[in-house]
Amino acid sequence: MNDELILQHGLTLNEFQIIKDYLKRDLTMEELGIFSAMWNEHCCYKTSKKWLKKLPTNNDVVIQGPGENAGIIDLEDNDGVAFKIESHNHPSYIEPFNGSATGVGGILRDIFTMGARPIATLDSIRFGEINTDKTKYLLNGVVHGIGHYGNCIGIPNIGGESEFDSTYDFNNLVNAMAIGHVKKDAIFYSKPKTIGGLIVYIGSKTGKDGIHGASMASDVFSENDEDDKRPSVQVGDPFMEKLLMEGCLELMSSGLIESMQDMGAAGITSSSVEMASKGNVGVLIDLDKIPLRQPLSPYEILLSESQERMLAVIEKDNDTKVREILKKWQIDYEVIGEITDSKNVVFTSKNKQVVNLPVNIIVDDAPEYDREFYLPRKRNKKDFDCTHLNLEKMINNLFDNLNYLDKSWIYNQYDSTVMGDTVKEPGQSTGIIKLHDSQKVIGATTDCNPLYIRINPELGMIYTVVEAYRNLISSNIKPIAITNNLNFASPLDPNIMGEIVLSINGLKKSASKLNTPIVSGNVSLYNQTNDLPINPTPVIGMVGSNLNINKIISNKFQNDGDIIVSIGESLGYLNSPYFLKDQKITREINSFNELEDIDLENEILTANSIMYLADNKLIQSCNDVFRGGIFMSLIKMIEKDYGFTVELPNKFDLFCEYRAGYIITVKEDELSKVCNYLSKNNVSHSNIGLVSNETIKINSKVFDYFEIKGKYLDNFEKIIN
């Protein structure tokens, strides 16, 4: 094998030499393909593994942490919740519709592979500046793909986030999250147990789509790569996924399956290798028995990432019963091999071995790098002149910015109420779904603050976790656990590697303090094109619950005349990066001041106080305060024809970011009780106004209520069109 061929497969020459020295022989082309698939960043996390090991992953409610297809937490009474987030960034840039659609399909398979029925999805999507045809094409394709797949399979999308920034001009991000409900005594794992057990193929036939998809997702791009990379993007079929899901769930509930693994990134290669590794066994698979859509070579079969496929292990006596159930669901099924005690992965074709590799070299001996990283430089304190900003100017700057506008154009393309258990739909601080025939609800949110993380990766990550935490608290949902999707540019740049290391450290600190362990996740590196890196974008998916649906509080105004109380303290405009950027004071990353330290004890104290008030029916509505400040929180709380009248001594505090920031509304006759409780618990708060019908009045200045409301609701669609 020549050096060019090795490098084309995403391996370094040193990595190839390590493999060759271990095996003491040359590799077959198929074996080279296996290492290409399994030793890339997307599958073995060779750059991030060292740092991910430091994350907190367990507490008394975690049933399953990282290492399985999804994490699972305990919701009492035999109820468990499985969830995970994953990226489909590179495929969604090349083929936005298919890339985003198969991102949804893949994460759903991770959920039902655990024996959990998917009950909700969320997403986190980011695009470049909207003034280019390319961004509009990507936006329309991604939103259409997410909506198409989720709507066809019939699982509600209950929330998410979107952001537009020039850093994503050539690297849009698509992170898909899914949540499922499972009975704790019916959780399913991928570890096989029976030597001689049959390895069976379940699902769609294998084709050429997605070959080298995993290694493609572990490489940087140039604009000229798009046509060459397009065949690496998978094509999904949500109707087949629905049949596959129902068939697999029936097989698992009937006890006919011993273990199961999704054929995701790297297809049958990764699923069989991971299964063998977890069970400390070997596998023997005949590639000639794989159901095919078209003639494929053994190499192509091994690396295909065709969608809607599962690998399972069954006992020989169950073959006929499994076949009958899958025939009912019109699903392809074939016995393709067996579990062995060899601890080797063996693939044959035409009665010849094309692969014979020890499992440990593929998995246990995969590279783990300790890459060089730089720490950010100390920032000098800067002053900024904001005296030219008046209320009208600050409001207009927000309403001319896609990031502050109502995103219903996006989420209206998703079915958010199918299955009939959605409590809160997209567009609010938290998406909430009810466990069917139960009083229990699950809340979930996705969040990231790339600008904060770019300024200070460790502190910025803590702010991101805290924002997700506040989102859940705003609905009286107790935060429980985290799934993460760490999106970064090339780790070969020590500055980017520094962002990765420090962000993970910030995640560790905040998750430990808030008692929200990380139970699943994904790493997506090399998100840069033409040497232009994205901002660091480690997305947090946080999940929580309330065991009593009647204790959930609204994020919208409820009554005319309710008192508006702000909680927390303004960071001030000098220390509010989004204020400075979005009010066009500065965009230069080097000119922002250092982030203010965040007091996690104060965040917990404030959150506990809000949940106590909510449990005791003393809060009418609540919303968190962060980007866009109190003003945007109030705008998002507008419901029916309710508006607000507020007075703040410092006009900038209306738009700045906040520490432990929330807005609550309280009935007038309960205000003293609420304020006394907050004072007793040392929670900073201030009575700033009241809910008023068809009114927006700020510091005695009256604004046109319907004009302001119309700009917030309508400007997104106007701008993108």
In the sheet with 537-546, reading across from the earlier edge strand, the strands are: 422-424, 431-434, 441-447, 537-546, 478-487, 518-524
SS3 category, 147:
helix
Report yes or no: 613 and 673 within 8 Å, Cβ to Cβ: no
The letter for the amino acid at 50 is K
d(CA 432, CA 447): 16
pLDDT tier, 218 (very low <50, low <70, confident <90, very high otherwise): very low
pLDDT, position 227: 54
pLDDT, position 356: 97
Q: b/e string for 662-697 if b means 16 or more Cβ within 10 A? A: bbbbbbeebeeebbebbeeeebbbbebbbbbeebbb
pLDDT, position 433: 97
Helical H segments across 558-692, by residue range = 577-582, 600-615, 629-637, 671-680
The full set of domains in the chain, from first to last, is 553-721 (3.90.650.10)
pLDDT, position 531: 84
Q: What is the pLDDT of residues 522-574, one digit of tens each?
A: 999 999 988 899 999 999 999 999 999 999 999 999 999 999 999 999 999 99
Q: Does pLDDT of 220 surpass 80?
A: no
pLDDT tier, 1 (very low <50, low <70, confident <90, very high otherwise): confident
pLDDT tier, 718 (very low <50, low <70, confident <90, very high otherwise): very high
| 42 in active site | yes
| 88 in active site | yes
pTM: 0.94
pLDDT tier, 249 (very low <50, low <70, confident <90, very high otherwise): very high
Tokens of 136: 């509009």
Mean pLDDT of the chain, nearest integer: 94
Sign of the four-CA dihedral 279, 280, 286, 287: positive
Share of the chain above pLDDT 90, in %: 91
Closest among 335, 334, 337, 268 to 307, alpha carbons compared: 268
Rounded average pLDDT over 643-663:
97
What's the longest Cα–Cα distance across the chain?
Answer: 85
Reported as type and span, the H/E element at residue 570 is: strand 563-570
The letter for the amino acid at 662 is Y
pLDDT, position 214: 47
295 Cβ contact list (under 8 Å, min separation 6): none
Rounded average pLDDT over 19-44:
91
Q: Does pLDDT of 213 surpass 60?
A: no
Q: What is the pLDDT of residues 306-336, one digit of tens each?
A: 999 999 999 999 999 999 999 999 999 999 9
Rounded average pLDDT over 387-393:
96
Q: What is the pLDDT of residues 100-135, one digit of tens each?
A: 999 999 999 999 999 999 999 999 999 999 999 999
Strands 658-666 and 642-646: unpaired
d(CA 326, CA 409): 39
Closest among 184, 160, 188, 186 to 174, alpha carbons compared: 160
Q: Does pLDDT of 224 surpass 60?
A: no
The residue from 42, 90, 148, 212 that is catalytic is: 42
Rounded average pLDDT over 88-98:
93
The residue from 9, 88, 90, 148 that is catalytic is: 88
pLDDT, position 228: 53
Tokens of 546: 């309330």
Helix 671-680 with 600-615: angle, nearest 10 deg: 150
Report yes or no: 283 and 272 within 8 Å, Cβ to Cβ: yes
Q: Does pLDDT of 232 surpass 60?
A: no
Rounded average pLDDT over 607-618:
98
Q: Does pLDDT of 231 surpass 90?
A: no
